[in-house]
């Protein structure tokens, strides 16, 4: 059974006002002091962000428990220095991001100018183990059309700088400004993948291979494929659903590769349109169906995803739980819907943040 790990980026906020707070360095120092053996928390580009990474897991219940534990630990350490954490992919309230002190981040600020200062967004990255780079590239080629569907399920960023953007995932639109971000063409072989990455680094536009921000890529640090399209999910259960679906996609794609099934040759241009549609609509309205790239109701498209990965999920014992988790998201809403409903009910973005802080740890 393939192992799965999740990286989540959390927003640090004032527990009373909901305003983002640039206190990540203090939170990390406190965590290191209280838990010297703790190695799950990391610095991010901005002082208003805190990242954690789970350990590789095979059981989704164990993965969910670790996500909840890491969120609670992050909140505990943040509370020691006067802030807390929220699983929000963008800040609903206005913010002026503070770039962390780090040579790499300073290089990015100088290279990309104002674009760097407009990237305070929080994502969820899912790592799934692969046996080799060849298998990994075969997976990347075959999961491309399904990635916008994952994005739609995870949408959790309707507000930006105090305003409703009209999008369900504005984070993904902001993230797309990086020069190396987005969907990719078919690579076919690991050699072509690595040559493409080397060519990109050689341009000098990006610093190194870690700055190749493909929607899905071979990890630089682990023997995994890393899927990077999701907003950080408001509820831990939604994050587990994302991880479950990603593992199912990876296993399904690997099986197709071994059977000689060719990847679908959608163009990058059309894949960008599918990603935009997912960001705009989320689970409301329509998505582009991965097989046809024609609009269909979002629920229909997500059910097609569940059908596509059904055998793989059944093999790991995850099918019934994934179907129930998706039914729960449809009934209660993902983060974008919850945020908008809270705003409609309270009329206050500060109240939205306060309630999302509570839900982050529930």
Distances from the Cα of 169 to the Cα of 4, 66, 161, 233, 312, angstroms:
24, 25, 14, 11, 28
pLDDT above 70 (res 298): yes
What distance lies between CA 128 and its chain's CA centroid?
Answer: 14
Burial class (CB in 10 A: 0-12, 13-18, 19+), 10: buried
pLDDT of residue 33: 85
Determine the longest span between alpha carbons in the chain, in angstroms.
56
Structural domain that includes position 82 = 4-360
Q: What is the DSSP letter of 181?
A: -
- The CATH number linked to 280 is 3.30.590.20
Concatenate the DSSP letters of all residues of 210-259 into one string.
GG--BSEEE-SSSSEEEEEEEEPPSSHHHHHHHHHHHHHHHHHHHHHHHH
pLDDT tens digits along 141-151: 999 999 999 99
pLDDT tens digits along 305-342? 999 999 999 999 999 999 999 999 999 999 999 999 99
pLDDT at position 37: 62
Residue 38, pLDDT > 80, answer no
What pLDDT is recorded for position 282? Answer: 98
Is 315 in contact with 136 (CB distance < 8 Å)? Answer: no
Encoded tokens for 168: 């369900």
- Per-residue pLDDT, 101: 85
Return the pLDDT at 103: 92
Average the pLDDT over 265-279 and give the result: 98
Q: How many CB atoms lie within 10 A of CB 67?
A: 24
Q: What is the pLDDT of residues 133-176, one digit of tens each?
A: 999 999 999 999 999 999 999 999 999 999 999 999 999 999 99
Tens-digit pLDDT profile for residues 98-130: 999 889 999 999 999 999 988 999 999 999 999
pLDDT the model gives residue 97:
94
pLDDT at 131 over 80: yes
How many CA atoms does the CB half-sphere of 358 hold within 13 Å?
9
Per the model's pLDDT, the better-predicted residue between 34 and 142 turns out to be 142
Assess whether pLDDT exceeds 90 at residue 39.
no
Rounded mean pLDDT, 63-70:
97
Nearest to 86 by CA among 144, 18, 132, 155: 18
Q: What is the mean pLDDT of the chain?
A: 96
The total of structural domains in the chain comes to 1
Average pLDDT over residues 192-207: 98
Per-residue CA distances from 114 to 28, 43, 99, 158, 171 (Å): 27, 21, 12, 22, 16
When pLDDT is averaged across residues 265-276 and rounded to a whole number, the result is: 98
Q: Residue 152 has which token pair?
A: 């739609």
Q: How far apart are CA 233 and CA 344, in angstroms?
A: 20
Q: How remote is the C-alpha of 158 from its chain's centroid?
A: 15
Residue 183's pLDDT band, with cuts at 50, 70 and 90, is very high
Give the position of tokens 């899912």: 126
Per cent of the chain over pLDDT 70 is 99
The per-residue pLDDT for range 69-86, each reduced to its tens digit, is 999 999 999 999 999 999
């Amino acid at each position: 059974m393939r192992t799965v790990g999740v990286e989540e980026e959390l927003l640090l906020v004032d527990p009373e006002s909901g305003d983002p707070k640039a206190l990540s360095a203090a939170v990390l120092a406190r965590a290191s002091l209280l838990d010297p053996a703790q190695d799950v928390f990391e610095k991010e580009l901005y002082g208003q962000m805190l990242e954690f990474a789970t350990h590789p897991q095979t059981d989704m219940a164990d993965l969910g428990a670790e996500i909840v534990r890491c969120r609670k630990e992050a909140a505990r350490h943040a509370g020691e220095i006067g802030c807390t954490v929220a699983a929000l992919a963008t800040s609903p309230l206005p913010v002026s991001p503070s770039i962390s002190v780090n040579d790499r981040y300073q290089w990015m600020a100088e290279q990309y100018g104002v674009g760097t200062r407009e990237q305070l967004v929080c994502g969820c990255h899912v790592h799934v183990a692969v046996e080799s780079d060849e298998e990994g590239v075969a997976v990347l080629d075959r999961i491309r059309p399904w990635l916008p569907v994952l994005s739609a399920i995870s949408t959790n960023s309707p507000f930006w700088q105090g305003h409703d953007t009209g999008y369900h995932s504005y984070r993904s639109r902001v993230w797309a400004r990086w020069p190396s971000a987005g969907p990719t063409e078919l690579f076919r072989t690991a050699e072509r993948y690595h040559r493409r990455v080397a060519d990109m680094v050689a341009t000098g536009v990006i610093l190194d291979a870690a700055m190749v921000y493909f929607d899905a890529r071979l990890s630089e640090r682990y023997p995994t494929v890393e899927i990077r399209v999701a907003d950080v999910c408001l509820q831990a259960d939604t994050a587990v659903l994302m991880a479950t679906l990603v593992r199912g996609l990876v296993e399904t794609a690997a099986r197709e590769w071994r059977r000689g099934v060719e990847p679908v040759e959608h163009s990058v241009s059309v894949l960008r349109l599918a990603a935009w549609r997912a960001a705009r609509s989320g689970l409301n309205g329509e998505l582009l169906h991965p097989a046809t790239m024609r609009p269909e109701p979002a629920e229909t498209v997500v059910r097609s995803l569940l059908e596509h990965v059904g055998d793989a999920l059944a093999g790991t014992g995850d099918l019934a739980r994934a179907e129930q988790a998706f039914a729960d998201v449809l009934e209660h809403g993902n983060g974008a819907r919850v945020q908008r409903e809270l705003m409609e009910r309270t009329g206050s973005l500060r109240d939205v943040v306060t309630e999302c802080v509570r839900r982050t740890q529930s």
